[in-house]
Chains A and B, each alone.
Chain A
Amino acid sequence: GENVEQHPSTLSVQEGDSAVIKCTYSDSASNYFPWYKQELGKRPQLIIDIRSNVGEKKDQRIAVTLNKTAKHFSLHITETQPEDSAVYFCAADQNTGNQFYFGTGTSLTVIP
């Protein structure tokens, strides 16, 4: 089955700096890559996603890049703010049904 690895597990940045979280996947059949943000005690919520026919996608301060050849994708958050502090999960899906393979999460702390 699919295996998704996520790095780093923890990340601290100063407010206003950029944060980058990287994920790799093992199965070339995966074609949908969502990123979820989970604040403490809350449910995961989708912040951005990308499909395998696209190399990059942006939404305001958030961007995701995908390299299908290397089987890795990354989340970029620019101009970080304290409210960006949360755990971020990447995931991969193989279009065989709603079965996400998640990375183990990155705990992001933005220091004011």
Chain B
Amino acid sequence: KAGVTQTPRYLIKTRGQQVTLSCSPISGHRSVSWYQQTPGQGLQFLFEYFSETQRNKGNFPGRFSGRQFSNSRSEMNVSTLELGDSALYLCASSLMTSGDSEQFFGPGTRLTVL
């Protein structure tokens, strides 16, 4: 099976712009979670989608949003970009829905905000 894929791999944006990142989960996985990884904060949970519904949400401002499509692919959007949004954005998919199972990570999208 193909692993989790994310596009694009690298992005450079300027403050105030908006950005959309895409994640394709492993075939058959219906749960997709998003994380922000920064050197100082580690991996922080953004949100999780299952069957096109957001089930959980982390402590991020409303500028961060996401959605999931019927084929389980997911997108996240960040509006009005700030310098502090520069990070590696990782998505992860899981076969199980209960939360006590492995999440498989994608390679990430490296976002740089200038």
Contacts and interface: CB of A to CB of B under 8 A. Distances in A.
Interface of A: 1, 31-32, 34, 36, 42-46, 49, 51, 89, 91, 93-105
Interface string B42-60: 1111001010000110110
Interface residues of B, number: 31
Interface of B: 4, 31, 33, 35, 41-45, 48, 50, 55-56, 58-59, 90, 92, 94, 96-108
B105 A97 contact: no
Nearest to B33: A98
B102 A100 contact: no
A95 B99 contact: yes
A43 B105 contact: yes
Contacts of B31: 97-98
Nearest to A96: B99
Nearest to A34: B102
Contact of B100 (A1, A44, A45, A93): A93
Contacts of B103: 34, 46, 98, 100
Nearest to B46: A99
A51 to B, nearest CB: 6
A59 to B, nearest CB: 13
Given A1-B59, A98-B48, A98-B101, 15 more contacts: A32-B100, A43-B105, A43-B106, A44-B90, A46-B102, A91-B43, A93-B100, A96-B99, A97-B31, A98-B94, A99-B55, A99-B56, A99-B58, A100-B33, A104-B42
